[in-house]
């Protein structure tokens, strides 16, 4: 069973008591919990870019094409996990400038270009 990382399912409240019933058909993304989780991760990523005053032109459909269900489960913080990074750090988050790559590869690129790793370049 898939465990949501970003989106709350609404089945229980924080104190463990039953909460508001969930009607998955009413979700913007439809009843699929993985797609819902991707949507909330996308919204979080977009908000972080806005906070940092970075250009952000990715739409949710672009995000879904980049993060397939297969590679979505490989996201994480370990060196072999996947992340979304920019080709050119001085440019914005656009379809032409982003890719999904292993964190190890991202750090190699950072080292090669002499840039320090900044968490705002990854998601």
Q: What is the DSSP string of the chain?
A: ----SSS---SB-TTSSB-SPP-GGGSTT-S-HHHHHHHHHHHHHHHHHHHTT--B---HHHHHHHS-HHHHTTBSSSTTSEEEEESSTTS-B-GGGEEEEEHHHHHHHHHHHTPPP-GGGB-
Q: What is the pLDDT of residue 87?
A: 85
Determine, yes or no, domain membership for 115.
yes
What's the pLDDT tens digit per position in 42-92? 999 999 999 999 999 999 999 999 999 899 999 988 988 999 999 888 899
Number of domains in the chain: 1
Determine, yes or no, domain membership for 78.
yes
pTM to 2 decimal places: 0.73
Determine, yes or no, domain membership for 14.
no
Determine, yes or no, domain membership for 16.
no
Instruction: Give me the domain span that covers residue 112.
Output: 31-121
Determine, yes or no, domain membership for 1.
no
């Amino acid at each position: 069973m898939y465990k949501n990382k970003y989106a709350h399912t609404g089945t229980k409240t924080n104190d463990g008591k039953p909460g508001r019933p969930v009607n998955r058909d009413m979700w913007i993304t439809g009843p699929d919990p993985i797609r819902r989780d991707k949507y909330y991760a996308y919204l979080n990523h977009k908000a972080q870019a806005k906070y940092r005053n970075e250009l952000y032109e990715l739409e949710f459909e672009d995000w879904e094409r980049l993060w397939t269900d297969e590679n979505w489960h490989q996201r994480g913080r370990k060196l072999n996990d996947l992340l979304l990074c920019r080709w050119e750090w001085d440019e914005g988050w656009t379809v032409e400038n982003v890719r999904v790559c292993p964190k190890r590869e991202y750090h190699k690129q950072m080292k090669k270009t002499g840039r320090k790793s900044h968490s705002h370049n990854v998601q």
